[in-house]
Structure 1
Amino acid sequence: MKKIFVLLLVTTQFVCAQEYEILFTKQVNNNDNIYSINQDGRIKQVTNHPRKDSSPMMSPDGGLMVFTSERKGWWKIWLMDLESEEFKQLTDASSAEYSPSWSPDGNQIVFVSSRNGGSEIFTMTKVGKAIKQISSGRNNTMPSWASNGRIYYSSQINGIYQIMSMKPDGSDQQQLSSGKGDKLMPQLSPDQGTMLYYGNFHGNMEIYKMDMSSGQVTRLTKNPLMDIRARWSPDGGLIVFERGNKRNDQQIYLMNADGSNLRALTRSGYNYTPSFAVKAD
């Protein structure tokens, strides 16, 4: 398979903004595999396995893809070389392991595992070595490794998921949100000024963003269906997310960073866990 590239796009909202292909999971005949889609709706299949593949994340250099899979047992973390199409299993604990995210330099991966009891956050090298637990004491999940070197994640505090951050060694843990409503899958913008997440503050899962300086929260979506698992494009100009009712009609959507120019990329079936591809060398 050839590496995934980006093109140039001119829209009414952004001049010379980049157009990125998007990785996502698509279920066909009850079988989940990883696909890519461009903003014209052209779909390409990336993995093809009878067991489930899901949650793809491309490495910063565009050469590797980390994902979760049930190829051997319950959900584990796997790696795919996008040039050679070779696969490597990175984790093999008896528990489910999921939500992988790359470090900014592409040398490490952060993920979630309950191998030591409870949902906790771990790090490892990109080849599955030096696995280390870096969180403890609560239900901790959905980590992302931001460009400022810190790891952001959701942690259950008094029954509500709040946004937390910490250094990659687990030190300097900071609570960044409070109040009612779960705040899930925090993603720091590339310019480090805005936190993207989804939550149920208004009674339904919607996409929000929080200004890192003022703490002001802006609601980006308003729909009776669930809007979940939002991610920034590498340039911070776009947001991809999924909308639907789970397991029946779940579609991949794209919008500008301010919530404008909302459009569906997929239109039928069960599609989930989108992430932006990055520019290949």
Structure 2
Amino acid sequence: MIIFLTFKFNNPSKTKDPMPSIQHFLRPIVGILLLIQSCKPSTELSANNEANGVPRGVLAFLTTRDGNFEVYTMNADGREVNNLTQNKALDFWSSWSPDGKYILFYSNRDGNNEIYRMDADGSNPTNLSNHPANDYLPAWSPDGKTIAFTSNRDSDNREIYIMAIDGSNVRRLTHNDLFEEVPTWSPNGKQIVFTRQLEEMVDTVKTTNGELFVMDIDGKNEKRLTFREGYDSGGKFSPNGKKIAFYGQDSSKNFEIFTMNADGTDVVNLTNDILEDYSPDWSPDGKWIAYTSGTSKQYDVWVIHLKSLKKFRLTTEPKRNETPVWRPDQK
């Protein structure tokens, strides 16, 4: 299917909706031809070739379909959609507990951004961080005992912290003047991958460049993983810990989903399309990646099969559907 559209791309982090932690670049493009051959509705996904299988499980994701960002869930074929947060305030991000019984998110319903936990059905929202500063982007550790997050409580720029699941025993892991975001855990719980915004001079102009780093959970043994032009972020370890998926820019400055080895080698462009692609997350079996794809006019949740590279669109509701996170397998 070929669709001719005329539009202007906008950096999602530059809009007035709540994506303060994601750093992108404004890239105007007018008169672009969109060739979307794999844009299949979710009802066709269940009829996918048996050789490829069908993605199973449940995804949490964000959407503005009810007027503001809310946390929703849906089946991995795009069906059984449910609004969990149902609040007039910002409710953003999501991270499942290892047993799939709870979800972390952050919200400004108390006047500033705080980290919340709720039951998997959206009930019993509880403020865990309770701090006058802004706390963002919580991520549950694989053993279920610790939460990584970012905060500006000790610095104008955000730093990475960890705390117990009841909000106690807060410890700061990074100590610098640089902006950091999106901490996520390795499957063995021994490392955290995160994004650090570096300042660089390009043709006598100071620019910012996001790169992926990894560190031990005590903040030691930092290692830089990516050395690429453009902003790389959203790193997620594969279930077996051998790969990391992330988003970044290709040679044409378009955002794509990439994978690489856990040591930063063998970077591969998975999506390789003309849409903007962000926020990857692995299926529990490691066969699929869910991600955000679209333009400033419309962002949707997609999945890509890693063996066949076939893509399937799960959402169609205007205007933003994004940041999918797979629920862990139920034991």
Please indicate, yes or no, whether the TM-score normalized by the shorter chain is above 0.5: yes
Question: Deviations along 1:170-205, whole A, 9 cap, x unmatched?
Answer: 111111221322211111111111111000132011
Q: Quote the Cα distance in structure 1 between the aligned partners of 2:330 and 2:49.
A: 23
Contact 2:225–2:264 (Cα < 8 Å) also in 1: no
| Correspondence for 2:266 among 212, 216, 220 | 216
Q: Quote the Cα distance in structure 2 between the aligned partners of 1:12 and 1:121.
A: 43
Question: How much does 1:131 deviate?
Answer: 1.2
Q: Which residue of 1 aligns with 2:226?
A: 177
Gaps of 5+ in 1: 1-7
Distance 1:214 1:154, change over 3 A: closer
| Correspondence for 1:188 among 237, 240, 254 | 237
RMSD, matched Cα:
2.2
- SS of match in other structure, 2:78: coil
Q: Quote the Cα distance in structure 2 between the aligned partners of 1:226 and 1:279.
A: 29
Number of paired residues? 272
Question: How much does 1:24 deviate?
Answer: 0.6
| Correspondence for 1:132 among 171, 189, 214 | 171
Q: Which residue of 2 aligns with 1:242?
A: 292
Q: Which residue of 2 aligns with 1:272?
A: 322
| Correspondence for 2:159 among 117, 120, 127 | 120
- SS of match in other structure, 2:69: strand
Letter in 2 for 1:227: D
Indicate yes or no: 2:121 matched with 1:103. Answer: no
Question: Deviations along 1:82-108, whole A, 9 cap, x unmatched?
Answer: 368211101233333211111110111
Q: Which residue of 2 aligns with 1:5?
A: none
Q: Which residue of 1 aligns with 2:91?
A: 53
Distance 1:50 1:18, change over 3 A: same
Q: Quote the Cα distance in structure 2 between the aligned partners of 1:204 and 1:169.
A: 35
Displaced runs of 4+ in structure 1, greater than 4 A?
8-11
Q: Which residue of 2 aligns with 1:4?
A: none
Contact 1:231–1:241 (Cα < 8 Å) also in 2: yes
Q: Quote the Cα distance in structure 1 between the aligned partners of 2:62 and 2:121.
A: 20
Q: Quote the Cα distance in structure 2 between the aligned partners of 1:84 and 1:205.
A: 32
Letter in 1 for 2:118: M
Q: Quote the Cα distance in structure 2 between the aligned partners of 1:38 and 1:180.
A: 36
Question: How much does 1:211 deviate?
Answer: 2.3
Contact 1:198–1:227 (Cα < 8 Å) also in 2: yes
Q: Which residue of 1 aligns with 2:304?
A: 255
Question: Deviations along 1:130-163, whole A, 9 cap, x unmatched?
Answer: 1111012122111101113200011123432111
Gaps of 5+ in 2: 1-45, 201-207
* Structure ranking higher in strand proportion: 1
Distance 1:166 1:266, change over 3 A: same
Letter in 2 for 1:155: R
Q: Quote the Cα distance in structure 1 between the aligned partners of 2:171 and 2:52.
A: 42
Distance 1:52 1:194, change over 3 A: same
Q: Quote the Cα distance in structure 2 between the aligned partners of 1:61 and 1:93.
A: 27
Q: Quote the Cα distance in structure 1 between the aligned partners of 2:224 and 2:314.
A: 35
Contact 2:233–2:247 (Cα < 8 Å) also in 1: yes
- Which stretch shifts more, 199-208 or 17-26? 17-26
Distance 1:228 1:258, change over 3 A: farther
Letter in 2 for 1:254: V
Alignment TM-score, normalising by the size of structure 2:
0.76
Distance 1:127 1:224, change over 3 A: same
Distance 1:109 1:213, change over 3 A: closer
Question: Deviations along 1:35-67, whole A, 9 cap, x unmatched?
Answer: 111133221222211212121111011111101
Q: Which residue of 2 aligns with 1:94?
A: 132
Q: Which residue of 2 aligns with 1:163?
A: 212
Q: Quote the Cα distance in structure 2 between the aligned partners of 1:74 and 1:227.
A: 29
Indicate yes or no: 2:283 matched with 1:233. Answer: yes
Letter in 2 for 1:172: N
Q: Quote the Cα distance in structure 2 between the aligned partners of 1:54 and 1:160.
A: 24
